[in-house]
Amino acid sequence: MRVLVCDDHSLFREGLRLLLEKLDAGMEVTLTGSAEEAVEATRGGTFDLILMDWHMEGLAGARALEALRESAPLTRVVVLSGDRNAELVRTAVDLGAAGFIPKDSPPAQLMIAVKTIADGGVWLPTGGLAPVATRDVREAFPMLTDRQADVLRAALRGNSNKLIARELGISDGTVKTHLRAIYQELGTRNRTEAVYMAAEKGVRIS
């Protein structure tokens, strides 16, 4: 797995690298100190996962997330932040983040969070939640059709409707129709609520 870390605090960057390499000695970790550097790195290579700080100098927050989602549309982006404000988490997920890890998490929980994401799961700061990413979308939500499951998997990765349509060979309108049906089946109102439900059920999205 190739992971890109984007954080303007050098000690946290290096600590995260050690954590990632402890999880998997074969993991390739690239460190960048700004969103601008991270965007440039995605132009020169392909990554499986991007871990980005929310509060940085220069390009930061929503603008940084949007820039990385645009430069690496097929890569899952996970936000790291010392701010676990619920509105910030919702904003990140709304903009396509596939997860959110509070920086003040205890080391053991940070390890679980990173492992969950590396294994293809979703991690969100939902209380004492410690999901195990072993359930496929079809297993977690058996009421969905195969096509709806495909759409939900893509949505959980943070893909835009346009990208989902291109990946699945269907129209934007069909994606929207599927998403409406999915939300109705899950009892959720939007993508953000669906992501939270997936996190609670330990869904594996990769």
pLDDT single digits (tens) 127-184: 444 445 567 898 899 999 999 999 999 998 888 899 999 999 999 999 999 999 999 9
- Output the pTM of the full model: 0.75
Query: DSSP characters for 33-101?
Result: SSHHHHHHHHHHS--SEEEEESS-SSS-HHHHHHHHHHHSTTSEEEEEES---HHHHHHHHHTT-SEEE
CATH number, domain 2-118: 3.40.50.2300
CATH 3.40.50.2300 in the chain: give the residue spans: 2-118
CATH 1.10.10.10 positions along the chain are 137-200
CA gyration radius, the chain: 16
The hierarchical CATH code for the domain 137-200 is 1.10.10.10
